[in-house]
Amino acid sequence: RLAIADSNEAAQQNLEHRTGTSIEAIKQAFLENLFFVQGKPVALATKHDYYMALAHLVRDRMLYRWNGTAESYTQDRCRTVCYLSAEFLMGPHLGNNLINMGIYDQVKAAMEELGLDFEDLLAQEVEPGLGNGGLGRLAACYLDSMASLEVPSLGYGIRYEFGIFEQGISQGWQIERTDKWLRHGNPWEVARPEWATEVMFGGHTESYTDAAGDYRVRWVPSQEVLGTPYDTPILGYQVDTANTLRLWKAEAIESFDFEVFNQGDYYGAVEEKVSSENLTKVLYPNDETLAGKRLRLKQQFFFVSCSLQDMFRILKGQTIPVEEFHEKFSIQLNDTHPAIASAELMRLLVDEYHLDWNIAWEITQQAMAYTNHTLLPEALEKWPISLFGSLLPRHLEIIYEINTRFLELVRMRFPKDSARLERMSLIDESGERYVRMANLACVSSHTINGVAKLHSELLKQTVLKDFYELFPEKFCNMTNGVTPRRWIALSNPRLTKMVTEKIGEGWLKELEKTKQLESLATDSGFQDEWHEMKSAAKRELAGRIHQQFGVLVDPTSMFDVQVKRIHEYKRQHLNALHIVTLYSQLKQNPQMEILPRTFIFGGKAAPGYHMAKLMIKLITSVGEMANKDPDLRNQLRVIFLPNYNVTNSQRVYPASDLSEQISTAGKEASGTGNMKFAMNGALTIGTLDGANVEIRDAVGAENFFLFGLTADEVAKMKFEGYTPRDYYLGNPYLKDAIDLIASGHFSHGDGSLFQPLLDKLLYQDPFMLLADYQAYVDCQRTVSKAYQDQRRWLEMSILNASRMGYFSSDRSVQEYCQRIWKVSPAPVDIDRYIKVSG
Ligand code: AZC
């Protein structure tokens, strides 16, 4: 036994300032941190210094759990989930950690006793926006649930220096600014340079015969990059488990440029360093479209290779033989972004650890599972062979070998079906040759899942049909979920307090318990409280909107909200057409009374997606006209909230009355915002798409505003020939709305501004807006009527919130654990390792 171990135990006895959670202890630690960590006297301290002092004291209080968890997993050699994702959209850490640790109230009180504005402190955190949207946020919710369920897990991804761009609105258009989230430092991460790994790129391969006379291949790269892991603790809710999010940063390998340096080529050496660091500079801001860029493939391989090598390091540390890799680790591929993992795992097992191909393939298949997040063909990743081969020559050989063996199997099962072979091949040979990443993921995984029932069914019928016919047993559905800790407890403290008062503690761990609120749905006292809770959140948001944009919105109006990435398939422009219809009717009938509504939009457009940017311009232009027009008598407001992100979204969901989930049926794989709205008591107007279908089943059809074509009807209509112009010509209201936009009424007389958008609707309309327009407008009328019966609306709102238990990500993660990962909880008892006070 080392002396340090005894001393360590002794040292634990006297650490109140690091562990204490009484208000006094927190104040003490805060002041100490201001002095010793920030190095500032109070007289010079900024708000950000206060935030840092607070963040550090929270981190200190997590470290016992984090170290204890690491020690426990190592000792028990626990089976571990490795969640590989190019995106983790975590959102701000501070508030969430306070909730999960159960010290939110004490910390708030301590800060207030020091005369500090607690909300203001929380607002200092620049959120790590390391994701685009749903896919990245889902990964973050799953990390929270895995930790809360005490499931051993590691999140592996990329530490982008610049996350998703910051959106500004200038003259109604989106502008992009770099997101310098690390500028003021990141108190939540710990760099682990001692676990840095080397990643190879380019070059060529050569074969050789080893000492035992066996034929082998080695990869001789032309570039090597160093990956340094940065670890962030992921604390579970009310448990001692703190798992790890491990993000890789690319750096130059020092020894690599040393020689150049010594030859006097100083700039050459620095260039090498700069080019290596570029690898993890920036997140690609495309949501569901592939960029096809070399740097993107490099990013993908970089983080995958680092992560797999890290797993081998862990195996070695726990003296587990490489043959047991798949027993130790269960790897989940979050879409195809990390799908190169199967080729890299094969390379490591065959070339580095000298395993037989068949054994390696068995291990690989048993280790991997693949989640598909979209049916949109433009999102399916494929890489030109020339690009792929120049960057990853050995992996291309391995993929060819996998393909040869795989197509042999297909040929045996489906003789003389060459069309099928062509479709299923890992290589697209129809024109320029490509590697198809979804095919690689399907072949290399033991399980393939979609993210909502409808989506999983459509996968089997469309994009993955051939794979379903070959491997039906691989397919399953895992309906998405979201974490109630962030999306209720942290975002909506008023709702949280009300629920706890009625049904006691425990429901944030077992969200199904909120069912108990159903009996209160018609209780007028409870309804009044509910109404006050909603109104308070609406007043708060209205206050922010006034402060930020100088626009007054009436908090008693209905808040009709669509927040999500801007995309044609999500149909923000259908929402806009409805607004234009209302606007036009009010202008034509100045006496008309409508239900006053505040339309709120938020969302980023991919910088190169011109149509999406034009959709933003349309919304802001309609808002500009409507918000200032006295003829409308304040019955209609249109607000575009700039820079929609996790932080802002937490203020939006609690303040929403109506949740817009209006994608073309069959296009939205699941949606997760839809769940956050309903949990916070918003009612949904939506199509039968993604998880809307299951949400409607859960909350009851009578508490959901359904409209529009079904996925089958959409497909049938397209098949039979759809002419959108007929709808325009046949519907005077639709014609009026489109003509008004075309006239330049919303664009200072410039009739050409929105022409590309209108032409696309009139002559192509791939997302069937015109076909769904009338159903949508009619449904919105039903919504208005329903809102006027406030008692009934409150009842529906309460029922929605009480029936959303199924959509907790705890349920999703439990299903993954049982069906896919085959892992069980491994509770951590930190008292076994370290004494914790307070
Ligand atoms: C999204 C889906 O569009 C969304 O419907 C789903 O809820 C979310 O994933 C989580 O599963 N997809 C993406 O963000 N991106 C891609 C490439 O699919």
* Three-state helix/strand/coil letters over 243-290: EEEEEEEEEECHHHHHHHHHCCCHHHHHHHHHHHHHCCCECCCCCCCC
Which of 672, 687, 745, 760 is catalytic? The answer is 672
Please give the distance, rounded to the nearest whole angstrom, from the Cα atom of residue 477 to the centre of ligand 1. Answer: 14
Answer yes or no: do 634 and 738 share one domain.
yes
Answer yes or no: do 378 and 527 share one domain.
no
- CB-side exposure of 703: number of CA atoms within 13 Å? 27
Answer yes or no: do 621 and 718 share one domain.
yes
Please give the distance, rounded to the nearest whole angstrom, from the Cα atom of residue 837 to the centre of ligand 1. Answer: 43
Please give the distance, rounded to the nearest whole angstrom, from the Cα atom of residue 85 to the centre of ligand 1. Answer: 12
Please give the distance, rounded to the nearest whole angstrom, from the Cα atom of residue 691 to the centre of ligand 1. Answer: 12
101-121 pLDDT tens trace: 999 999 999 999 999 999 999
Please give the distance, rounded to the nearest whole angstrom, from the Cα atom of residue 167 to the centre of ligand 1. Answer: 20
Q: How far apart are CA 469 and CA 460, in angstroms?
A: 8
Please give the distance, rounded to the nearest whole angstrom, from the Cα atom of residue 769 to the centre of ligand 1. Answer: 21
- 466 within ligand 1 shell (Cβ under 6 A): no
Catalytic site residue 337? no
Answer yes or no: do 766 and 682 share one domain.
yes
- Asked if residue 663 lies in contact with residue 684, where contact means CB atoms within 8 angstroms, the answer is no
- 134 within ligand 1 shell (Cβ under 6 A): yes
Angle, helices 94-101/47-76, rounded to nearest 10 degrees:
50
Answer yes or no: do 500 and 469 share one domain.
no
Candidate from 372, 374, 381, 570 with most ligand 1 atoms within 8 A of CB, to mutate: 374
Q: Is 5 within a domain?
A: no
CATH number at residue 192: 3.40.50.2000
Q: Is 352 within a domain?
A: yes
Nearest to 178 by CA among 56, 72, 312, 281: 281
Catalytic site residue 502? no
Q: Which residue has the higher pLDDT, 165 or 16?
A: 165
583-628 pLDDT tens trace: 999 999 989 999 999 999 999 999 999 999 999 999 999 999 999 9
Q: Is 310 within a domain?
A: yes
Sheet holding 427-428, edge to edge: 382-384, 434-436, 427-428
For the record, the structure tokens of 449 come out as 């899942």
Q: Is 710 within a domain?
A: yes
**What is residue 255's predicted lDDT score, i.e. its pLDDT?**
58
Task: Specify the residue with its C-alpha closest to ligand 1, atom 7.
Answer: 671
Q: How far apart are CA 749 and CA 613, in angstroms?
A: 20
Answer yes or no: do 53 and 159 share one domain.
no
Which of 474, 538, 676, 811 is catalytic? The answer is 676
Q: What is the mean pLDDT of the chain?
A: 95
Catalytic site residue 509? no
Q: Is 625 within a domain?
A: yes
Q: Which atom of ligand 1 is closest in space to residue 288's alpha carbon?
A: 17
Catalytic site residue 672? yes
**Average confidence (pLDDT) over 792-804:** 98
Residue 299 burial (CB count, 10 A): 24
Task: Give just the sign of the alpha carbon dihedral 288, 383, 304, 248.
Answer: negative
Q: Which domain holds residue 597?
A: 484-807
Between the alpha carbon of residue 838 and those of residues 66, 118, 148, 478, the distances in Å are 17, 22, 21, 39
Listed as own residue / partner, the contacts of 292-295 with beta carbons closer than 8 Å and 24 or more positions apart are 292/382, 292/383, 292/384, 294/387, 294/391
The identity of residue 288, as a single letter, is E
Whether the ipTM is more than 0.90: the answer is yes
Catalytic site residue 316? no
- 186 within ligand 1 shell (Cβ under 6 A): no
**What is residue 837's predicted lDDT score, i.e. its pLDDT?**
46
- 374 within ligand 1 shell (Cβ under 6 A): yes
Which of 565, 617, 667, 803 is catalytic? The answer is 565
Which helix H or strand E contains 572, and what residues bound it?
helix 572-588
- 138 within ligand 1 shell (Cβ under 6 A): yes
Backbone angles phi, psi at 827, to 5 degrees: -55, 145
Q: Which atom of ligand 1 is closest in space to residue 480's alpha carbon?
A: 11
Answer yes or no: do 532 and 457 share one domain.
no
Answer yes or no: do 671 and 704 share one domain.
yes
Which of 246, 249, 373, 696 is catalytic? The answer is 373
Number of domains forming the structure of the chain: 3
Which of 570, 573, 597, 617 is catalytic? The answer is 570
Q: How far apart are CA 705 and CA 687, in angstroms?
A: 9
- Confidence tier at 259 by pLDDT (50, 70, 90): low
**Average confidence (pLDDT) over 13-23:** 79
Please give the distance, rounded to the nearest whole angstrom, from the Cα atom of residue 429 to the centre of ligand 1. Answer: 28
404-427 pLDDT tens trace: 999 999 999 999 999 999 999 999
Answer yes or no: do 505 and 583 share one domain.
yes
Nearest to 778 by CA among 685, 700, 661: 685
Q: Is 400 within a domain?
A: yes
Q: How far apart are CA 677 and CA 354, in angstroms?
A: 52
Catalytic site residue 628? no
- 187 within ligand 1 shell (Cβ under 6 A): no
Asked which of 6-10, 269-273, 509-513 is least confident by mean pLDDT, the reply is: 6-10
Listed as own residue / partner, the contacts of 516-522 with beta carbons closer than 8 Å and 24 or more positions apart are 516/802, 517/798, 517/801, 517/802, 518/798, 518/799, 518/802, 518/803, 520/798, 521/794, 521/795, 521/798, 521/799, 521/802, 522/795
Question: Quick check: 838 pLDDT over 50?
Answer: no
Backbone angles phi, psi at 400, to 5 degrees: -60, -40
Q: How far apart are CA 479 and CA 679, in angstroms?
A: 16
Please give the distance, rounded to the nearest whole angstrom, from the Cα atom of residue 136 to the centre of ligand 1. Answer: 8
Answer yes or no: do 81 and 107 share one domain.
no
* % of the chain surpassing 90 pLDDT: 91
For the record, the structure tokens of 537 come out as 């959140």
**What is residue 287's predicted lDDT score, i.e. its pLDDT?**
78
Q: Is 813 within a domain?
A: no
Q: Is 417 within a domain?
A: yes
For the record, the structure tokens of 726 come out as 């007929």
Answer yes or no: do 425 and 510 share one domain.
no
Task: Specify the residue with its C-alpha closest to ligand 1, atom 17.
Answer: 288
437-487 pLDDT tens trace: 999 999 999 999 999 999 999 999 999 999 999 999 999 999 999 999 999
- 133 within ligand 1 shell (Cβ under 6 A): yes
- 87 within ligand 1 shell (Cβ under 6 A): no
Between the alpha carbon of residue 166 and those of residues 43, 163, 566, the distances in Å are 32, 9, 15
Answer yes or no: do 117 and 98 share one domain.
yes
